Amino acid sequence: MTSSQVAEHAGVSQSAVSRTFTPGASISSKTRQKVLASAKVLGYRPNAIARSLITNRSRIIAVVMAYLENLFYPDVLEELGRALAAENYHLLLFTGFMDRDSDPVFDQLMQYRVDGIILASTSLSSELSEECASAGIPVVLFNRTTERDAVSSVTTRNREGGKRIAEFLVAGGHKSFGYIAGLENSSTNRDRHQGYVEGLAGHGITEIAYEIGNYSRPKRKLRRA
Amino acid sequence: MTSSQVAEHAGVSQSAVSRTFTPGASISSKTRQKVLASAKVLGYRPNAIARSLITNRSRIIAVVMAYLENLFYPDVLEELGRALAAENYHLLLFTGFMDRDSDPVFDQLMQYRVDGIILASTSLSSELSEECASAGIPVVLFNRTTERDAVSSVTTRNREGGKRIAEFLVAGGHKSFGYIAGLENSSTNRDRHQGYVEGLAGHGITEIAYEIGNYSRPKRKLRRA
DNA sequence: CTGAAAGCGCTAACAG
DNA sequence: CTGTTAGCGCTTTCAG
């Protein structure tokens, strides 16, 4: 079903059909009704692909989440899906690859001319971040930060969180302290650790056991709903 | 960056550029190299949107998962992402809406001319399932079954599972039995229940307490990674 | 408000 | 193997 076919059926021009499905386009409600009626009969839906080609906007946002094992991410994903749908955007998900080889992912992603990229649980090589910038594709990091100021990022206040944990433990009367790191060189981990150390330092505590955990646990097997 | 620009830069026809990026196309390796070189310099990537418009294949698979709260689904999603990427397909995710209003979702989904639809944690209204069929879009249900034979589905053997649980409990010497249902009218729940009842019946047990749980638990709040 | 016409970037015959 | 040509389905000037 194409707009031309609908136009023919409705006895109007193809442009009229296009205008019918373009919010705010200049069209009389009479013509509009005719088109809508024909569209319904023929089961017509505008072709988003063709539209994208000419408007240069795909209304697709790429979301890159290397893994979903961390329970936090599915929650985020669901929320993201809801929010994007509300704005009539669509979510192209890239997941299930190791953190290392994200470059080929971007190659794919660029080909779809996505309107924006949300990076969670992965980072962008500086080369690619530059390419996105020069291509005019907005990139936002989620739960990550970076020094490059071209890239926006959304995170929680990890340092504050670490500090509060420290206060909490001290207030609980604890006497010996430790810290189990996540991915050691992630900004998330650095910030939490810093806050924790600072918090304890405020109480004159400097002796803190340290271990690296990498957020690891035995790999989950597929489970049944 | 368009193929024409690359063609000009490389001193070949635009078709040559197209052929360079079409696996199996008839092109000399000399021309190919020239094109590849120019493409690299200019940072060219084929426009998947334009390609889709003419080939009528988007290489996009829509995955519909109403919610991701059940830990099983993120696992599936990750696996799906991996598998699709390996075949050079892309995953358009629809999530974060209530089970009821999935019809508008399909409206969106149809506009993108997806090559196929995977439905998990949601069902398709018969009307839409028909429309997909007539549009030639393959649909597969995941973790759901249906009577309509036009629709394929992938599930685990729930009946067998229910039966085995029964055997297990009996073998453990238990004497009184109960069953907590999930969503009561889902095929998944029906099959498990049936298997469980059958299994127990095999041992002459017919008295089984019954309660509906709806897989519920207090709604999870956003958690930090 | 409406239609005609030009093209978005690409693939797919078609000749050479 | 290569270039030329004709569209894919749509939006967007441009006249009327």
Mean pLDDT for A68-95 is: 92
Cβ of A28 near strand C (under 7 Å)? The reply is yes
Tell me whether residue A176 is exposed, middle or buried, using C-beta atoms within 10 angstroms of its C-beta: 0 to 12, 13 to 18, 19 or more: exposed
pLDDT at residue B99 is higher than 70: no
Residue B169, pLDDT score: 97
The residue with greater pLDDT, B129 or B93, is: B93
Residue B143, pLDDT score: 86
Tell me whether residue B90 is exposed, middle or buried, using C-beta atoms within 10 angstroms of its C-beta: 0 to 12, 13 to 18, 19 or more: buried
Mean pLDDT for B79-104 is: 84
A137 touches chain B (CB under 8 A): no
Residue A225, pLDDT score: 45
- State which residue has its Cα closest to the C1' atom of C8: A54
The CB-side HSE value for A147 (13 A sphere, CA atoms) comes to 1
Among the listed ranges A59-63, A180-184, B39-43, B45-49, which one has the minimum average pLDDT value? A180-184
- Residue B107's pLDDT band, with cuts at 50, 70 and 90, is confident
Strand C: positions under 7 A of a protein C-beta atom? 1-5, 7-13
Report the Cα A94 to chain-centroid distance in Å: 10
Residue B225, pLDDT score: 45
Chain A residue numbers touching B82 (CB-CB < 8 A)? 95-97
pLDDT at residue A223 is higher than 70: no
Mean pLDDT for B100-123 is: 81
- State which residue has its Cα closest to the C1' atom of D8: B54
Question: What is the number of other CB atoms lying within 10 angstroms of the CB of residue A21?
Answer: 19
Q: Which residue in A45, A67, A81 is closest to B110 by CB distance?
A: A45
Q: pLDDT by residue (tens digit) across B175-222? A: 999 999 988 877 888 999 999 999 999 999 999 999 888 877 655 555
Residue A76, pLDDT score: 94
**Are A92 and A121 a contacting pair, CB within 8 Å?**
no
For residue B21, give every residue at least 6 positions away whose Cβ sits within 8 Å of its Cβ, in sequence order, or none: B46
Kindly state the percentage of chain A with pLDDT values over 70.
88
Distance B103 CA to C2 C1' (A): 33
Q: Which domains does chain A have, with CATH numbers?
A: 3-46 (1.10.260.40), 57-154 (3.40.50.2300), 158-224 (3.40.50.2300)
Residue A25, pLDDT score: 84
User: Contact B97/A76, CB-based, under 8 Å?
Assistant: no
Residue A184, pLDDT score: 83
How many Å is the Cα radius of gyration of chain B? 25
Residue B157, pLDDT score: 93
* Both structure tokens of B36: 């590849």
Q: pLDDT by residue (tens digit) across A36-61? A: 999 999 989 999 999 999 999 999 99
Q: Can you list the pairs that A15-18 forms with residues at least 24 positions away whose Cβ atoms lie under 8 Å?
A: A18/A46
Mean pLDDT for A186-215 is: 91
H/E stretch holding A180 reads strand A177-181
- State which residue has its Cα closest to the C1' atom of D7: B54
B97 touches chain A (CB under 8 A): yes
Q: pLDDT by residue (tens digit) across B149-186? A: 667 889 899 999 999 999 999 999 999 999 999 888 77
Q: pLDDT by residue (tens digit) across A125-154? A: 666 667 777 778 898 888 887 776 667 889
Residue B25, nucleotide of least CA–C1' distance: D1
B146 touches chain A (CB under 8 A): no
Mutate to test the interface with A, among B84, B111, B217, B219 (most CBs of A within 10 A): B111
Residue B79, pLDDT score: 94
Q: Give residue for tokens 């729940």.
A: B189
Q: Sign (positive/negative) of CA torsion A62, A66, A67, A70?
A: negative
Cβ of B4 near strand D (under 7 Å)? The reply is no
Q: Which residue in A50, A134, A225 is closest to B143 by CB distance?
A: A225
The residue with greater pLDDT, A85 or B97, is: A85
User: Contact B94/A92, CB-based, under 8 Å?
Assistant: no
- Residue B101's pLDDT band, with cuts at 50, 70 and 90, is low
Q: Which residue in B43, B49, B95 is closest to A77 by CB distance?
A: B95
How many Å is the Cα radius of gyration of chain A? 25
Distance B64 CA to C9 C1' (A): 30
Mutate to test the interface with B, among A93, A103, A109 (most CBs of B within 10 A): A93
Could you tell me whether strands B177-181 and A177-181 are parallel, antiparallel, or unpaired per DSSP bridges?
A: unpaired
Say whether B123 sits in a helix, a strand or coil: coil
Could you tell me whether strands A60-65 and B139-142 are parallel, antiparallel, or unpaired per DSSP bridges?
A: unpaired
DSSP character string of A18-74: HHHTSTT----HHHHHHHHHHHHHHT----HHHHHHHHS---EEEEEES---STHHH
Distance A26 CA to D13 C1' (A): 14
Least Cα distance to A35 among A21, A50, A51 occurs for A21
